Amino acid sequence: MSLDQEVATLKRIPLFANIDTSRLKLMAFASQRMIFKDGQALCQQGDPGDAAYIVIEGRADVLIDTADGPLKVATLSSNDIVGEIAILIDVPRTATVKAAGEVVTLKITKDLFFRMVSDFPEIAIEVMRVLAHRLEKTNEQLRAARS
């Protein structure tokens, strides 16, 4: 995948849709393209959050450890981002994310993410929207589970 293709992928993500193309090129250039094989963990629940991942191709399952074993709470696909919670508030990973087949990602380190947020405050607003949406979805799932 070329740098221009990675920038086009970033443009499709709400967090980055309104960011200048030249800035996204810098971000894509500074990011690390990673390929995960089926069943391989992008990140492990409890580990330190050192990066966020943007799914370029493929699917990944989000799993939460429970007393009864792992519970799948979401599936990620192209243009989804994961890991921003852990890099935003410096807490351990809240979930394990495993590739469901081959997954191609862009890894955005904590330092790069914070530089982008400080340079472009609109990203912070979009992060809040994404996290609020996830919280609402989690609340819906909890209500459904209690019923």
Q: Structural domains in the chain?
A: 3-138 (2.60.120.10)
Q: Angle at the Cα of 124 (from 119 to 128), degrees rounded to 5?
A: 175
Rounded-to-integer distance, Cα 31 and Cα 1, Å: 13
Per-residue pLDDT of the chain (147 residues; tens, 9 = 90+): 788 888 888 888 877 887 888 888 888 888 999 999 999 999 999 999 889 999 999 999 999 999 999 999 999 999 888 988 777 888 889 899 999 999 999 999 999 888 888 888 877 887 788 778 878 988 998 899 898
Q: Cα dist. 87→64, 101, 141, 142 in Å?
A: 18, 26, 25, 25
